[in-house]
């Protein structure tokens, strides 16, 4: 037997002898079994934690019991009893009444009062002799004279669009300072192809005269050389100026045609 064992040991290689003499914790069987045990322990721990967490969630969920709510008793509003006014309060009311009447009378007097300028204008409208005439490039009324010059030309406005510039001489016949633009806006209308042309802004050398015409005031009995500018939609069509009757606010029958070419 010993000879057989010796012969078998002699036939083994060094690698097989090394494997045979390995300690048990370095052998494959032990390592595999250890890994399986660790995996089993981890699985048990995970299962235990999930069960405990589910139990906790079930316990923390609120109950869905239905509770009956008793209707609240309606609180009746207490009737407020009006206190009778005392003698002193009655006396105070009697004293306050004349002041309110005085205020009403003051309001009536204020409503009856009118500004001096408005009253003058009303008096002027009632005494108008020349409500509006147009002849030979001159638009004349009792309030002003608006004489159109021969300097009517096509120019470019501030936006570079075609515009019509009309120079004029304005005479103030009233007793107050007046702005020539007021006449342009209220008593003169310029149309082309049946549509009213709108004012526009000037540029270059015409800026000063247009700004002075729009903002400057003319004293009573004084003259002013001004100009108006409107935006033109068509540089070929004829333009027509209309003038108003200052008493009836209707347009005069006489108009001024303006040919652009």
3-state DSSP helix/strand/coil percent for the chain, to nearest 5? 40, 25, 35
Sign of dihedral through CA atoms 160, 162, 163, 167? positive
The arrangement of secondary structure in 128-258, i.e. its CATH architecture, is Sandwich (2.60)
Residue spans per domain, the chain: 128-258
Mean pLDDT on 35-55: 82
Nearest one of 170, 163, 180 to 233, comparing CA atoms: 163
Residue 127: per-residue pLDDT: 86
Task: Find all residues with CB under 8 Å of 69, minimum gap 6, and list them.
Answer: none
Q: From start to end of 99-196, where are the E strands?
A: 133-135, 138-140, 144-156, 162-172, 188-192, 195-196
pTM of this structure: 0.52
Lowest mean pLDDT among 34-48, 55-69, 75-89, 198-212: 55-69
Taking only the tens place, the pLDDT of each residue in 121-175 is 555 566 899 999 999 999 999 999 999 998 899 999 999 999 999 999 999 999 9
């Amino acid at each position: 037997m010993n000879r057989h064992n010796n012969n078998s040991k002699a036939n083994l290689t060094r690698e097989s002898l090394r494997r045979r003499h390995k300690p048990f914790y370095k052998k494959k069987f032990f390592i595999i079994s250890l890994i399986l045990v660790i995996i089993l322990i981890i699985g048990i721990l995970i299962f235990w934690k999930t069960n405990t967490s589910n139990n906790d969630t079930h316990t923390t969920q609120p109950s869905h019991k239905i509770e009956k709510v008793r209707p609240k008793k309606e609180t009746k509003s207490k009737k407020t009893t009006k206190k009778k006014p005392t003698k002193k309060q009655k006396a105070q009311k009697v004293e306050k009444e004349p002041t309110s009447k005085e205020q009403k009378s003051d309001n009536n007097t204020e409503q009856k009062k009118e500004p001096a300028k408005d009253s003058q204008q009303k008096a002027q409208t009632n005494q108008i002799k020349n409500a509006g005439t147009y002849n030979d490039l001159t638009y004349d009324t009792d309030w002003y004279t608006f004489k159109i010059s021969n300097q009517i030309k096509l120019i470019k406005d501030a936006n570079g669009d075609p515009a019509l510039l009309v120079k004029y001489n304005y005479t103030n016949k009233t007793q107050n300072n007046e702005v020539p633009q007021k006449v342009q806006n209220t008593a003169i209308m310029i149309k082309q192809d049946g549509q009213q042309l709108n004012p526009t802004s000037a540029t270059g050398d015409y800026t000063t005269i247009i700004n002075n015409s729009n903002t400057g005031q003319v004293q009573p009995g004084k003259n002013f050389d001004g100009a108006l500018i409107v935006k033109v939609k068509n540089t070929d069509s004829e333009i027509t100026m209309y003038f108003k009757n200052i008493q009836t606010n209707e347009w005069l029958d006489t108009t001024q045609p303006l040919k652009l070419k």
